[in-house]
Structure formats: C-alpha cells, structure tokens
Structure 1
Amino acid sequence: MSAAYIVKEIYIYPIKSLAGISCQQAFAEEMGFENDRRWMLIDTDNQLITQREYPVLSQFYPQISNGKITITFQGHEHEFSISEHLQDQIYTKVWDDKSFVFEVNKTTSKWFSEHLGFGCKLVKIIKAGDRKHESSRSKETYNVSFADAYPYLLIGTKSLDFLNNKLEEKITVKRFRPNIVINTQTPHEEDNFEQFKIGKIQFKNVKPCGRCIMVNNDPHNGVVKKEPLKTLSKYRNVNNSVLFGINIVGLNPGIIQVGDEVVY
C-alpha cells in the first residue's frame, strides 16, 4: 500500500445514534476512539433507543470541551460532565449483548425526555468488559462500547464516489457514520484489507459492515428516504446483507490524525 492511502476524515459519536463530531485527531482505545459511543439513551424499560425508530435523534448535536459534553437540539442546549454518573448499576442490552451501565444524572435524562416526548435515560458505559460482543465470523470476543457491534468503522472514499455516481441526490459519508475515512483508489477495496497500520496503531478487519435502514435518514434534516439503501441493495447485497464499509478493531492504543498514512 502506498502513501496515497491516507486518513481523510475522523469522526466520533459520543452518544449512540446522535450526530457525530468531526475530529482532526482521536485517541484509539480497545473499545473505540476515546468518548466514542460511551453514552446511550434507553427507555423506561431499559431498552436502547436509536435512529431506526426515532430519526429525530440525528438532530441532536454534541460538542466536547473542557471535560463537558454540550448537546444542542432546535436551539436548546444541555451540558453534563464527561466524568459524572450515578452509582446504581443498570442492566440493559445492545442488541444481543448484555451491557452494564450507569445513568449520567436525573437532570440530563429529564432534558432528553422532554425534547423526545417520552421517558428515557442517558446512560454511560464505565469500563472495558461491561459489554462484550462475539463475532459471528471469527468467534472472537471483543470489549466494545455502544457501537452496533465493533469498535471502529472504516470507509474508503472511492466506495462513496461509486455510490454517488448511481444516485440522483448525492449524499455525504456522514450517512454511514464512519469513524475513519481513507482515500482509496478503487471502490470497496477496503473490504480486502486484513491487517493495516495507521500511525502507530495496528488495526484488524473483522468483517464487512451490513447496513440497515438508518443510512436512509438524512443527517441534515432527519428525513428518512428510500436512498441510498435501495441503490446499494442492487449491487452490494451479499447473503441478504447490504455491505458498505468494514468493521475493524484496534490492536493497541494510540493517537491517529487526519493525514496519517495507512500502511497495509
């Protein structure tokens, strides 16, 4: 792999299913980037809440500064500390994975409940091991946060370009909620990456990422459309799974930056 393969964009999503944050650099940890999907909304039955059922979640915008997270929604703001949480442990699940979490605070849960129109809590995962996910492909078990299954999602630029050439209404990579976007030379060549290095971090490709209806939610306005899933399903459907991007794990901690070379 040549130096033409470089990191173009980095994103974190502090709260699962809310908008993401574009970063110039991020610290890679076992469970994903620091502060990436360490928080999640659950309902009064302790079931996870996502954009699949509530597309409006895409219109909640987080920012991180001075050890605090500020959420903006339709002109309203709320702030809480990254470090805070209540003491009572809550049992929940992320899909089929058991997860042990803690509510951030009652005020934050009330703020989200008021703006969503139903009772919910903002919860936090505290440490590695509080949620484990077993890969159906490799049968390996990974410590993960609240990502759907794996700590990181990587997408190549040519994969998006190829898709956009087939769409009447062009989309951005934000539809697919990647953590890492790299410059590539051909569509979907990232599928074939096995192990590779970015900066001093070794990554391993676990599996292609199967996409759901959530990619049809336009992050600019929260409107769900038929695309791009309709078009993707015509040429990226493998065993009834529509593939776009790859799920990867980091094998050691460290910082990666926009502009870093990808060494394969």
Structure 2
Amino acid sequence: MLRLSGLYRFPLKSAVGECLSQATLDGLGLVGDRRWMIVDAVSGRFLTQRLLPQLTQLKAEWLGAQALRLSVAGRPELRVAVPDATAELRGVSVWSDSLQVPDAGDAAALWLSDWLQRPCRLVQVPAERARQVDTGYAEVGEKVGFADGFPLLLIGQASLDDLSARVGRPLEMLRFRPNLVISGSEPYAEDQWRRIRIGALEFRLVKGCSRCIMTTLDPQTGERSSDREPLATLKTYREREGEVYFGQNLLHSGPGELQLGMAVEVLE
C-alpha cells in the first residue's frame, strides 16, 4: 500500500528544511513553504545554494503568520517579523519571473549580508503577490511562491533507494528537497502517475523535476561531492534532452490537511 512517509517544509528558499508530521496546504502549497527568499541587494536576483553552498547551514524556522527565525552556528539568532502593509516593495526575480514583494527590513539584511559576506536583502511573498505557475502546465490562477516553478515536489522513497544503490552509498532525501515522500511503490513509479489522492486532497503530477549541481551538496556539511554524485549517476539513466530528472512537480486541488502515514491512491 502506498503511504505518505515524508513531509518537508522549506520556509526560506535554499536554507535548511523542516521535517513535519503534519502540514496544512493553502493556495501556494504547504503553508510556510518557500515564502521567504534571499536576493542580491542590487539586482534583486534570487540567491541559492548553487552560488552560496553555505546556505545549507542556515536554519530558518517558520513561526506562522508572525515571523521567521534565522539561526546559524556561531551567531546570535534573529527573529524577523512578517512585513506588514507599510513595508517597502522590492523588485526581485526568480528565474524568468519578476515580481514586487515586501522587503523584510534592514536588520535582516545586515544579519544576512554580514554572514554571507555580500550585500543582500530578505524578502517575503504574500499570497496576493505570488507568481502564476507556467500556464503550459497549470490553469490561470494557480500560483506559486518562491519555489523554482511549482508549489509541490514529490519523490518516491523507492526511487531514492534505487539511486543510492547505484551510487554505492546512502543518499539523504534532503539533497532533493521534496515536500512529499511516498513509500510502497516501485522505483520511479511516480513518473507514470498523473493524479493521486492523499486524504481529501487531489494532486496533479505535471512535470518531472530537472536537477542541478545542488544535489551534489551534502545537506549536513555543505561540502560538494568530489565525484559529482549523485548527479553523475543520474545522468547515466535519467537524462532526457540535456536535462536530468528526479521527482515530480505537483499541483494541488485546494486547501486541506496532510499527515504522515496517510494512504495514497493513484487515480490516473
């Protein structure tokens, strides 16, 4: 039987994730997931582990609708309030999308700029300023926060187990930063699913997730694999038209609740 065996939230894009036992979904995916982002102070371009592997060490704790707590070894933690309606709007970009979102203020910018040793700002996305999901895969009105392109990402546990066996060492699920992990399927069975149901919620699997150099970073240490694994192995059997795929991007039917252990039903 298929079960929901993993739930992960990433409050700050490219920072440490949170392992959850239950989660609420709203119009942008898991509540609190990728609603905050670090950007270059001048260009507004999003900053991630691709450029700054030290972000693997930055903890960002979701404190609901009130705040985000930032912490990293050797520095005092910082509580950052969710910007209110009077906050300055900042022009930022995520890949090819440009949007105006509230800036989280100078204290957060100073804390992050000092640690990262580069001028940057912290921004937050309210629902009304979220991006439209690519209409090649989604309906008009389906939105995403600061995730790369889609509100949710799913990976089968058996797929990771198979990849680990091929690489020759255990790989952490957090290398791939999914929201949902499903157990009980065959490896890569999720590639063939089109619609699933978990509890009262339905999900559409709309596009494979293309992978980059971030997967070669150890999520515990931030060190890059000298052998470029697991990306090197994935390229031998998961590459199509120059892209390497692992996991599936999802769209969801609406708000609801998820809990570990829930049964998963493949509808199509």
Shorter-chain TM range is over 0.9
- The answer for the alignment partner of 1:205 in structure 2 is 205
Instruction: Give the distance between the partners of 2:85 and 2:50, measured in 1 at CA.
Output: 26
- The answer for the alignment partner of 1:14 in structure 2 is 11
Percent identity over the alignment is 33
Instruction: Give the distance between the partners of 1:254 and 1:83, measured in 2 at CA.
Output: 26
Match of 1:33 among 23, 30, 35: 30
Asked if 1:253 is matched to 2:252, the reply is: no
Conservation of the 8 A alpha-carbon contact between 2:15 and 2:56: yes
Instruction: Give the distance between the partners of 1:190 and 1:123, measured in 2 at CA.
Output: 33
**Residue identity in the other structure for 2:232:** K
Asked if 1:163 is matched to 2:163, the reply is: yes
5+ long unaligned stretches in structure 1: none
- The answer for the alignment partner of 1:180 in structure 2 is 180
Deviation larger for 219-228 or 166-175: 166-175
- The answer for the alignment partner of 1:73 in structure 2 is 72
Secondary structure of the residue aligned to 1:231 is helix
Q: Residue by residue, what CA displacement relative to the aligned partner does 1:193-212 show, whole Å, maximum 9, x if unpaired?
A: 11111111111111111111
**Residue identity in the other structure for 1:13:** F
Instruction: Give the distance between the partners of 1:218 and 1:99, measured in 2 at CA.
Output: 31
Q: Residue by residue, what CA displacement relative to the aligned partner does 1:129-155 show, whole Å, maximum 9, x if unpaired?
A: 53223154x364531101000000000
TM-score by length of 1: 0.93
Asked if 1:48 is matched to 2:50, the reply is: no
5+ long unaligned stretches in structure 2: none
- The answer for the alignment partner of 1:63 in structure 2 is 61
**Deviation at 1:57?**
0.6
Q: Residues 262 and 160 from structure 1, CA distance in 2 versus in 1: closer, same or farther, beyond 3 angstroms?
A: same
Conservation of the 8 A alpha-carbon contact between 2:83 and 2:103: no
**Deviation at 1:246?**
0.2
Deviation larger for 152-161 or 178-187: 178-187
Q: CA RMSD in A?
A: 1.6
Instruction: Give the distance between the partners of 1:62 and 1:84, measured in 2 at CA.
Output: 19
Instruction: Give the distance between the partners of 2:129 and 2:112, measured in 1 at CA.
Output: 27
Instruction: Give the distance between the partners of 2:138 and 2:261, measured in 1 at CA.
Output: 33
- The answer for the alignment partner of 2:192 in structure 1 is 192
- The answer for the alignment partner of 1:236 in structure 2 is 238
Aligned length: 260
Secondary structure of the residue aligned to 1:218 is coil
Instruction: Give the distance between the partners of 1:128 and 1:233, measured in 2 at CA.
Output: 39
Secondary structure of the residue aligned to 1:166 is helix
**Deviation at 1:104?**
1.1
**Deviation at 1:252?**
1.1
Instruction: Give the distance between the partners of 1:82 and 1:261, measured in 2 at CA.
Output: 35
**Residue identity in the other structure for 1:15:** L
Conservation of the 8 A alpha-carbon contact between 2:205 and 2:249: yes
Conservation of the 8 A alpha-carbon contact between 1:32 and 1:151: yes
**Residue identity in the other structure for 2:93:** K
Instruction: Give the distance between the partners of 2:61 and 2:38, measured in 1 at CA.
Output: 17
Q: Residues 128 and 183 from structure 1, CA distance in 2 versus in 1: closer, same or farther, beyond 3 angstroms?
A: farther
Instruction: Give the distance between the partners of 1:74 and 1:16, measured in 2 at CA.
Output: 19
TM-score by length of 2: 0.92
